[in-house]
A = this chain, B = another copy of it.
């Protein structure tokens, strides 16, 4: 930690700060500069109590942490890329992975048509929401357990592992019984109790970035999964909230190289939520592939014009099949299969 003192302090006031730093288990190094006195406090910031408390001292102008606060998700802790397995599919290895399916599971017909369609086009994992978080209580909230059963049926028919959202601690066991990957949505990205509940099921967890989540907070939320003895963590960028209104969110593709640099966990991109518009999905997918993403999470519906949620951002089966073809040269250029 670096502590900057206010100017013109008495010796007594300075000593009090130094004493407190020592009391908290750090060793202070004092540097007297032209305009300010600066104290470097040496000690492990992750095992000692934080010196943040010094911000409340009238003598102190600022407190700046030096160490990164995340451990288990960090690349320093695990220099090799880690991989996450969902049944026979491995994410984070050389093969590029595509997860596709409807925003919401609506009916057996809709889901099976989609599952067969996306499999035929080359997707390796089936997505579909059974429990849906909705901005308004008057919107369709998903089919619940019935939706989970339909997902299981689709998996049986197609062999595709399934990913679906968990949005209540109370459903953790139920959802984990059916799903191969648990998805934590953007609105729950700092619902730490839900993260712990998800981690404890032992199933892989795909953690979406919150709408206003800094990279560091996202990594720390991931730390809640890894520190609860679950190594199957995927980071999924799905757009952050900015002032721009042309798109629903601003997809922060720079998150791909950043997470790859800071962490060992695989990175997934969700272009459907990121743009909120089907007409931008193909372009965003190409960018994601080129920039080193490990997987895509794409919304596909056999009839987007009749979808019960987020219709504007879902691709048709034909649109998805075309996209998979168009992505091929970029997947090759990126050195993936």
Which A residues are closer than 8 A to B by beta carbons? 2, 4, 7, 20, 29, 31-36, 38, 40, 42-44, 46, 50, 52-57, 64, 66-67, 69-71, 76, 133-139, 167-170, 187-188, 190-194, 210-212, 214-217, 220-221, 223-224, 227, 240-247, 250-254, 256-258, 261, 274-275, 278-280, 283-284, 286-292, 304-307, 311-312, 314, 329-330, 332-334
Contacts and interface: CB of A to CB of B under 8 A. Distances in A.
Contacts of A312: 52, 55-56
How many of these chains are in the complex?
Answer: 4
Given A42-B34, A169-B168, A223-B137, A253 B287 contact: yes
Contacts of A29: 29, 31, 40
A284 B254 contact: yes
Contacts of A4: 66
Contacts of A279: 257, 261
A292 B284 CA distance: 10
A327 to B, nearest CB: 9
A52 B311 CA distance: 7
8 contacts: A34-B42, A38-B40, A135-B190, A167-B193, A169-B170, A187-B190, A240-B244, A241-B243
Given A191-B191, A240-B243, A257-B279, 20 more contacts: A20-B305, A29-B31, A31-B40, A36-B66, A38-B40, A55-B312, A56-B314, A57-B305, A134-B192, A135-B221, A137-B224, A168-B169, A210-B212, A241-B243, A242-B250, A247-B254, A257-B280, A257-B283, A283-B292, A333-B333
A290 B292 contact: no
Nearest to A196: B137
Given A214-B245, A291-B287, A192 B44 contact: no
Most buried by B among A32, A70, A290: A290
Most buried by B among A66, A137, A314: A137
A229 B279 CA distance: 32
Contacts of A139: 50
A136 B223 contact: yes
B243 A243 contact: yes
Given A192-B133, A287-B287, A290-B290, A246 B280 contact: no
